[in-house]
Structure 1
Amino acid sequence: MHTHFRSDGCRPYQDSAEHDDFPEGSPKFETDMNTALAKAKTASKPVIAVFSAVWCPPCQRMKHDVYPNDAVKAYHDKFVWVYLDTDASANEKWMEKYGVSSIPHIEFLDSSGKSTGNEVGFKTPEAFAKVLDEKIQKAGQGTTSTAATAK
């Protein structure tokens, strides 16, 4: 059974289109988890798995205002990014595996695919950059920018 989520965590909800229209300045998003995990293993980089949907207003704010923001750009090359449509049946197993019950849901994975935590809900660019900085430090890759001092 395919489960659909609304931004408030309620369900069911309508099917929607694929997400391949990333704004200019966005990280290079994969749209397949297996591809992202293979790239992460090869590059020895952690993964940011973004579970999202076109009908989710906070998800779309993150997509258009946070991921391409200058505060986050310093982290684009530090991670393998994957954008997973919660309405696509191909992503159901990943949603189950990582306990996605509300979106936006951002799952952080090490280069072997093991979860290192998650964030659920909208974050400002500065707050998201701070989370990314903490993840990079824990992964042993050091501070990337001044985001460590962001509020």
Structure 2
Amino acid sequence: IISREVFIAGWIAIFLLCGFYLLGKIRLPHDSVLDTIGPLRLLASSGCLAFGLYLMTGLFGAPLGEWDAFFPPYGSYGEIAKIRSGEPELAWRDDYEAGLAEAKTTGKPVFIDFTGYACTNCRWMEANIFPEKEVHALLKQFVRVQLYTDGRGEKYKRNRDLQEANFGTVALPLYAIMTPGGKEITHFPGMTRDVDVFVRFLKQGISPTVASVIRR
């Protein structure tokens, strides 16, 4: 799988080359010399160059807003979180059983992020909802587990089977809150652009009622 940085760098090169080509700074063997540059050509070249420069910020961890949905995932969403919330990166486990074991030790509920490498809605949530300050603060109160389901190999099949067995779907993204014993508290299918909606979902997992159940 191509890394996020390599993927972005490739698109930066494409847009910059297109911009310079439209300006006549780069010519192919059979191209004629441009005597003048029309307004539409100038506008198109300016757009390509501007977008290429904008993408460069993504190489240094800056969020790219709506465009993040179309790029490969970060190793974690930590760099975005640092920029958006000012908080340090949160650690994520990639093993469900290990997450439950930690939850039994700490007494925390488990937050599961069923995600995929090719899931644009997953990338959008990770780039635009998870780093929001209130969401980031709430996620600290969970044992966090991120399970990719669309890769090749036994691990991904196991994650996919886990999602289907517990929630009756393999659609992504899907977010679930579980007790340390592996019982579902609640789950949230799909994406949302409303931070408050996701905050309310997370708060269901740390309510006093749920906390009393976990302590039993």
Q: TM class by shorter-chain length?
A: 0.7 to 0.9
TM-score normalised per structure 1 = 0.73
- Give the alignment partner of residue 47 of structure 1, picking from 107, 110, 118: 110
Instruction: Specify which of 93, 96, 101 is matched with residue 161 of structure 2.
Output: 93
Deviation at 1:34, TM superposition (A): 1.1
Task: In structure 2, give the amino acid aligned to 1:23.
Answer: G
CA distance, structure 1, for counterparts of residue 159 and residue 201 of structure 2: 24
SS in 1 for 2:180: coil
Whether contact under 8 Å (1:71, 1:126) holds in the other structure is no
Identity %: 26
Distance in 1 (alpha carbons) for counterparts of 2:162 and 2:74: 17
Cα offsets for 1:28-76 (capped at 9, x unmatched): 2111111111111111110111111121111111111111211202212
Unmatched 5+ residue regions in structure 1? 1-16, 142-151
Q: Which has the larger radius of gyration?
A: 2
Deviation of 1:104 after TM superposition, in Å, equals 0.7
Pick from 90, 93, 113 the counterpart of residue 182 of structure 2: 113
Say whether 1:35 aligns with 2:103: no
Give 1:23 deviation, angstroms: 3.3
Q: Following TM superposition, by how much is the alpha carbon of 1:107 offset from its aligned partner in structure 2, in angstroms?
A: 1.4
SS at match of 1:129: helix
Determine if the alignment matches structure 1 residue 69 to structure 2 residue 142. no
Q: Which has the higher helix share?
A: 2
Name the CA distance, whole Å, in 1 between partners of 2:73 and 2:201.
Answer: 27
Matched letter for residue 20 of structure 1: G
Q: Which has the higher strand share?
A: 1
In structure 1, what residue type is equivalent to 2:175?
I
CA distance in 1, matches of 2:190, 2:131: 17
Task: Give the TM-score of the pair, scaled to structure 2.
Answer: 0.52
- Extract unaligned runs of 5+ from structure 2: 1-71, 82-88, 151-155
The 8 Å contact of residues 73 and 123 in structure 2, kept in 1 or not, is answered as: no
Alignment partner of 2:173 out of 104, 107, 112: 104
Query: Cα RMSD (Å) of the superposition?
Result: 2.1
